Amino acid sequence: MPTNISRLILTFASVVFAAVTVGFWAAPGPVAERFGIAAASAVGIISLRADFGALFAAQAFFCGAAVWTKRRCWANAALVVVSAVVAGRMIGWVANGGPGGDLAGFAVEVVVIGALALLIRGSKPEV
């Protein structure tokens, strides 16, 4: 049962991450503004497309692959990426003196990490 719930959460997360990926690739300026980010130049727009698009594409792919294949290796890959995002967010909080309204993204990431942990726990070890 927990594995089914985690698979549902991760499926939803994968779709949302994929939608954000498409958003960064198609219209990086408006999507970045929703994340509180602004590009200072054309190079910044390129970086938004490349870096943020790639980050969300990796999250979408790894979460989706973990759900689809039920293999730990994909869940572990997703866990590394999402955990790195959380680490970066926490470093930002320390550097800036607190979350400053950034708790929604953190909450999503914690839920995804929990779902990945349940999926890993419920899967068979790979040989």
Residue 127 has pLDDT above 90, yes or no: no
Cβ–Cβ under 8 Å, residues 71 and 62: no
Q: What are the phi and psi torsion angles at 98 (to 5°)?
A: 145, 175
Residue 2 has pLDDT above 70, yes or no: no
Residue 14 has pLDDT above 90, yes or no: yes
The per-residue pLDDT for range 58-107, each reduced to its tens digit, is 999 999 999 999 899 999 999 999 999 999 999 999 998 888 878 899 99
Residues in the chain: 127
Is the pTM above the cut of 0.75? Answer: yes
* Relative orientation angle of helices 72-96 and 103-122, to the nearest 10 degrees: 150
Phi-psi region at 114: left, alpha or beta (left = phi > 0; alpha = psi -120 to 50): alpha
Cβ–Cβ under 8 Å, residues 71 and 79: no
Residue 52 has pLDDT above 60, yes or no: yes
How far are the Cα atoms of 28, 98, 116 from residue 64, in angstroms, in the given order?
Answer: 23, 32, 11
Residue 48 has pLDDT above 90, yes or no: yes
Rounded CA-CA distance 1/106 in Å is 25
